[in-house]
């Protein structure tokens, strides 16, 4: 019997891909020479004034609407004070008690079925900090640290979930759907390995019989994990660690922990700070953010179809729920699927070839649907040959391998290799007649009731046609020819 219930809430930071930073005109481009995208504002020089980036507000509203939040007509900015070398002002401009949006929902799916709906507590706008590069393996034994302020001031939204998830797997499904939803809005690169999407996972165990509030449970916050897989691993480790504490009658301390990719373990970083450690106060240099209904509605009108609408589109076309999720998670796959399905018509067959044989080739060669050497048109060329009966499924797989390598069309390859499956009834009939004429004793055996004899004759025909005849067609023609033969004698 389980003695506790797992409680998980996620805080996700998403970098918005505006051209300029949140409060200055510096570029947000990733990967530039350190400290080249900086100015007095994002370097925190005294006397400078921040000016809010309108595009960042639009992107944040888009995210809020897509996550079914209420966008507040009035929100404001606050200073969150802390001292760390990646933050030159010694405070971060964020939103504290009056965030941009609240009360959203993210449905989570497993193999296409809704598992549950996770609440979104709030979404707020804030600026990113700079990036520290530690010279050494770990902070502890670093020879020194370098600071790069290119990222300081890049716009972020923080999406704070309710503590509604109860397993590492649900956390994975939440992040997957969150990423799906945001990706279609095209407001962020969402690259966890580059840090444009970052996740902090809060984990606690509620012992059975605990009657206090969930917020009061001592929770551990696992900071800045760099992939969905690692969020899942970190949570799994943390559940086991805390369960052992509880089993031993020990208390869990509220703390911030890091995740070590190599060992899959979390490790203590610092005791968890409380909100009042930050001395939040309203940002005096920025006016409140006041949004009119008209403005929010205008942004709403630019939203692309929701992931729910896309799911519907794929399912209506006959794609299996499990495959729908795979296609949905990858824009290029969806674009490929749409194009191929429009050209070919049979969505299921397109999906099967995309997700089995073509995906296998893409994976082996480190490609994706964004870089695939076999275009939707080319795949449809192959599917048409199967549809017409020119190629069997087995032959088509061989042709696809060849298409992938040579980037030639299916038609060309088939012609070159003389691969076509013979379906022409007249051509087959000729071979069948020859076979019947030269194997009379076998034909007599068949006529006297030895069913097996027919198999031998089919085999002879296949041999003569080098396997290019369709066995079912051969079978039928063979029976016809033998019937004619029997009538003659
Ligand atoms: P903080 O700044 O202290 O991290 P936030 O309000 O930004 O606080 O985020 C709190 C997060 O912790 C939310 O995602 C919330 O769902 C989650 N949370 C609250 N209580 C628990 C709990 N008992 N166990 C796990 N997560 C929790
Ligand atoms: Mg937080
Ligand atoms: Zn700047």
pLDDT in tens, 158-199: 999 999 999 999 999 999 999 999 999 999 999 998 889 999
Nearest CA among 259, 229, 223 for reference residue 241: 259
Q: Above 60 in pLDDT, residue 19?
A: yes
Quote the pLDDT of residue 140.
65
Q: What is the mean pLDDT of the chain?
A: 91
pLDDT over 50 at 1, yes or no: no
pLDDT tens for 275-289 read 678 899 999 999 999
To test the ligand 1 pocket, which listed residue (6, 11, 269) has its Cβ within 8 A of the most ligand atoms? 11
Q: Which atom of ligand 1 is closest in space to residue 164's alpha carbon? A: 16
Q: What are phi and psi of 116, to 5 degrees?
A: -165, 175
Atom of ligand 1 nearest to the CA of 274: 3
**Of 317, 299, 318, 315, the residue nearest 307 (C-alpha):** 315
Look at the alpha carbons of 238, 239, 245, 246 in this order and tell me if their dihedral is positive or negative.
positive
Centre of ligand 3 to C-alpha 151, Å, is 9
- For the chain, what percent of residues have pLDDT higher than 90? 71
Better pLDDT: 470 or 381 = 381
> Poorest-confidence range of 116-125, 182-191, 242-251, 388-397?
388-397
Residue 220 pLDDT exceeds 80:
yes
Token pair 């995210």 is found at 63
3-state class (DSSP) for residue 255: strand
Residue 8, H or E segment? strand 4-15
Structure tokens at 209: 């019989």
Q: Domains, the chain, ranges and CATH? A: 4-299 (no CATH), 307-417 (no CATH), 425-488 (1.10.10.410)
Share of the chain above pLDDT 70, in %: 96
Quick one: pLDDT at residue 424? 65
Find the 152 Cα to ligand 3 centroid distance in Å: 8
- On the question of pLDDT at 63 being above 60, the answer is yes
pLDDT in tens, 395-422: 889 899 999 999 999 988 888 887 766 6
pLDDT at 431: 85
C-alpha neighbours within 13 Å on the C-beta side of residue 13: 19
The 3-state DSSP class for residue 270 equals: strand
pLDDT for 145 equals: 85
**CA of residue 2 to ligand 1 center, whole Å:** 23
- Tell which wins on pLDDT, 199 or 3: 199
At residue 392, does pLDDT exceed 90?
no
- Which residue's CA is the nearest one to ligand 1's atom 13? 9
Q: Which protein residue has the closest C-alpha to ligand 1 atom 24?
A: 204
- pLDDT band for 474, please (50, 70, 90 cuts): confident
**Which is higher by pLDDT, 425 or 154?**
154
Mean pLDDT of 369-378: 95
pLDDT digits (tens, 9 = 90+) for 73-117: 999 999 999 999 999 999 999 999 999 999 999 999 888 788 999
pLDDT of residue 146: 92
Q: Which of 161-170, 370-379, 430-439 has the lowest mean pLDDT?
A: 430-439
SS3 content of the chain, % helix, strand, coil (to 5): 45, 20, 35
The pLDDT assigned to 112 comes to 79
Q: Where are the beta strands (DSSP E) in 261-342?
A: 265-271, 281-282, 289-290
Please answer whether residues 162 and 120 qualify as being in contact, where contact means their C-beta atoms are separated by less than 8 angstroms.
yes
Q: Which of 98, 160, 231 to mutate to test the pocket of ligand 1 (most atoms within 8 A of CB)?
A: 160
**Ligand 2: distance of its center to the CA of 330 in Å?**
29
pLDDT the model gives residue 9: 98
Ligand that lies nearest to the alpha carbon of residue 42, given by its number in the listed order:
3
What is the arithmetic mean of pLDDT over 145-159?
96
Rounded to 5°, angle at Cα 65 from 309 and 70? 135
Please give the pLDDT value at position 126.
98
- Ligand 1: lining residues by beta carbon, under 6 Å: 7-11, 160-163, 202-204, 214-215, 217, 219, 221
- Which residue's CA is minimally distant from atom 2 of ligand 1? 275
Atom 5, ligand 1: which residue's CA is nearest?
A: 160
Ligand 1 mutation pick, 166, 202, 217, 275, max ligand atoms within 8 A of CB: 202
Residue written as token pair 């009042």? 276
For position 10, what pLDDT does the model report? Answer: 98
Instruction: Please report where in the chains the tokens 């809430």 appear, as a residue.
Output: 9
Ion ligand 3 neighbours (CB, 5 A) are 24, 26, 39, 41-42
Task: Count CA atoms within 13 Å of residue 87 on its CB side.
Answer: 15
Question: How far apart are the CA of 350 and the centre of ligand 3, in A?
Answer: 48
- At what angle are helices 393-406 and 376-387 packed, to 10 degrees? 150
Rounded to 5 degrees, what are φ and ψ at 107?
-75, 140
């Amino acid at each position: 019997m389980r003695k506790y219930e797992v409680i998980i809430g996620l805080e996700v930071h998403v970098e918005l891909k505006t051209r300029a930073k949140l409060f200055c005109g510096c570029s947000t481009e990733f990967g530039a020479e350190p400290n080249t995208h900086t100015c007095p504002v994002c370097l925190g020089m005294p006397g400078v004034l921040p000016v809010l980036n309108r595009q960042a507000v639009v992107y944040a509203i888009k995210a809020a609407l897509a996550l079914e939040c209420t966008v507040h007509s009035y929100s404001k900015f606050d200073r969150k004070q802390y001292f760390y070398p990646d933050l030159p002002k010694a405070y971060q401009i964020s939103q504290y008690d009056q965030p941009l949006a609240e009360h959203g929902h993210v449905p989570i799916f497993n193999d296409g079925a809704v598992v549950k709906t996770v609440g979104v507590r709030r979404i707020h706008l804030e600026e990113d900090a700079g990036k520290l590069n530690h010279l050494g393996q770990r902070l502890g034994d670093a020879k020194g640290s370098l600071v790069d302020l290119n990222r300081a001031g890049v716009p972020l939204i923080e999406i704070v979930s309710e503590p509604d998830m109860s397993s590492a797997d649900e956390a994975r499904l939440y992040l997957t759907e969150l990423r799906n939803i945001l990706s279609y809005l095209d407001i962020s690169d969402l690259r966890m390995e580059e840090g444009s999407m970052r996740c902090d996972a809060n984990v606690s165990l509620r012992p059975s019989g605990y009657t206090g509030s969930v917020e009061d449970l001592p929770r551990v916050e696992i900071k800045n994990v760099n992939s969905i897989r690692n969020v899942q691993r970190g949570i799994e480790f943390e559940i086991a660690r805390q369960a052992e504490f509880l089993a031993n009658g020990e208390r869990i301390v509220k703390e911030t922990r890091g995740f070590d990719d190599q060992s899959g373990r979390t490790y203590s970083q610092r005791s968890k700070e409380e909100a009042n450690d930050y001395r939040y106060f309203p940002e005096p240099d920025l006016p409140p953010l006041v949004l009119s209904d008209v403005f929010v509605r205008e942004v709403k009108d630019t939203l692309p179809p929701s992931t729910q609408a896309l799911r519907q589109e794929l399912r209506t076309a006959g794609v299996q729920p499990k495959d729908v999720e795979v296609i949905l998670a990858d824009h290029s796959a969806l674009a490929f699927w749409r194009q191929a399905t429009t050209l070919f018509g049979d969505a299921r067959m397109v999906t099967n070839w995309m997700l089995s044989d073509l995906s296998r080739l893409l994976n082996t060669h480190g490609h994706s649907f964004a870089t695939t050497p076999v275009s939707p048109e080319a795949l449809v060329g192959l599917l048409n040959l199967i549809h017409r009966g020119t190629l069997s499924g087995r032959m088509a797989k061989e042709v696809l391998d060849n298409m992938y390598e040579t980037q030639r069309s299916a038609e060309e390859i088939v012609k070159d290799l003389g691969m076509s499956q013979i379906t022409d009834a007249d051509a087959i009939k000729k071979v069948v007649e020859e076979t019947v004429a030269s194997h009379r004793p076998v034909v007599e055996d068949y006529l006297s009731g030895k069913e097996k004899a027919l198999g031998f004759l089919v085999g002879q025909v296949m041999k003569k046609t080098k396997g290019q005849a369709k066995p079912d067609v051969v079978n039928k023609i063979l029976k016809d020819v033998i019937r004619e033969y029997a009538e003659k004698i």
